[in-house]
Structure 1
Amino acid sequence: MEQNSFVLVAPGMQLMDNLEAVPGVVVKETTQVVDAVMAAAGGGYEAENKYHVRAMPQNVNPGREHGEAGTWRPTTAQLDALPQVYFVEEDSDCCLRAILAAFGGLNLRALKLHFYYGNSDKYLVERPCKLGGCCCCPLEMRLYQNGQQKQLIGAVVEDFDNYCARCFDCCCLCINKHKVLVGPTRESLVHKYSLVNSACCCGRVDNCCGGTCCKPSFFIDIVEPDGSLAAVAQMVYGSGDSWADCCRCAFDFNNYILPFPPKANHFERLLLLTGLLSVEYAHHSRTGGENNG
């Protein structure tokens, strides 16, 4: 295991680039006013997303089900005070975003995600524009070590290995799965974990109205290939300024808590973070097409 490292980038701000040194991370999407205005008006514009990734404190219980005693519910101020791990910034084509927003396919857009560690563009995610597994074109994100020569670390791919069963899960049960694959080449990728996004009451927990003021958490299970539960991520509504939390929820500026499976190494944890962002784009971000009804 590499030694934990800290770099001061601003007064009071610390950075760490060893995910094995933290029990998990908190992902906070930045609020962008232009997105809120366009979403409310049904406009065909969407700004590039940006995310702060911060270290989850030691010895907190993020919870695995609704109503669990002693669950950690951080306020916005508490989240902003946590040590920063990465700043993730989207790079995508403005014209493509506008076209897809007009037709309700904004969440399928091609993009790149830059993982900044301080001023260093350390990791790169590439996501091609695909229609999704139900159209025999599963969504995919590929994670690279960035530099003069990109090195593949792994990929996150929508799970449609059993097409008929997965179509039934998606269309009838509202359950979507994304596989986390680790390996330096596409031929050597090994399935390590899956993220299970269940939008209804058919999963391990009832996620109906989850991540809202009605039910503060939307749980996303992290399971091993044999189906055993390794960890539980969640999209959280917030626990601070009720008006700000409500606005962020209404316009899909989401907060996530991602605990890591204890045995996962740094790159597996990095791929789990990529998987969470894959789930975020596919299932918890604006699709557009508001004026098509």
Structure 2
Amino acid sequence: MKLTVNRLLAFSLLLVATLHCSFAHAGEGAFGWIYTLDLQPKGKLEFEQRLQLNKQQASGSYNAWLSRTELEYGLSNDLQIAGYLNSYYVNANQNYTNPEACGDAPTCTGGQPVPESHNPATPYRKSGIEGGSLEAIYRITNPVTSPVGVGLYLEPTLGRNKNEIEARLLLQSNFIDDRLIVAGNVVVANEQLKFVGNGNVPESMLDFLVGASYRFAPKWSAGVEARFHNDYSSYNLQNQVQKATFVGPNMHYAAKDWWITGAWRYQLKGNTCMGDGTAECSNARVWDSHSVNEFIVKVGFPLN
């Protein structure tokens, strides 16, 4: 069955509604994209649904939706594992304006996961099940009992459009009786992009994610988070092709038996492309799979 954005939304809402009857007590994920060290306790299982939209490139229209359906389980109080089912929907049309990318045409359709074999003069629309991911987080020190919480994260992904192995260093400090959370992730990933007829393309990434969230009311938190992004055209952080900065707010609500988080990241101007990646920049921003705006909504609740 073909997935559309409406079906992605309906599927996400159906999962939440179906499992809501078993809510008992909620954990919290106060940030949109930053992982924290608030793990599931030993023996606890949590369901989480994420829906992300990357919207608007240099011109035309670009809407890339990614749905991630996750189950988290606490193997111990300091070791959490998880599994994801990933699906996607992309609708792009004349979303590139860089002359090098478009040749003689004034505009063309591109961006990931649009294949190079696609006719750039026509719109591109595709959806489906992307693949699956596994995740493990090990907490070395707890930010509740230590000045700085430290953890390690590993996530392999197998997908239709790309394979990836991602590692993170997780850092977190809590202040003001745990009402203020300051967190950061150092993200390193090797990626294998898949293009029909063009083989697999190696890439790698280095990201620095930082943010803060403050609980200003018993159930409400708000804050800000930023992404300092670096893309490379080879494995192991070789041959840098992009550098970009994203900043935006987040909002979090936690009830007794569920929580929801929304966040927005805006790509600032002044970003650069270099080397083989110069065709992926215009208007002082970076493109390929990136956009001007990134939105994410996450819902979570325990199952036991």
TM-score by length of 1: 0.42
Of Structure 1 and Structure 2, which has the larger fraction of its residues in strand? Answer: 2
Q: Which has the larger radius of gyration?
A: 2
TM-score by length of 2: 0.41
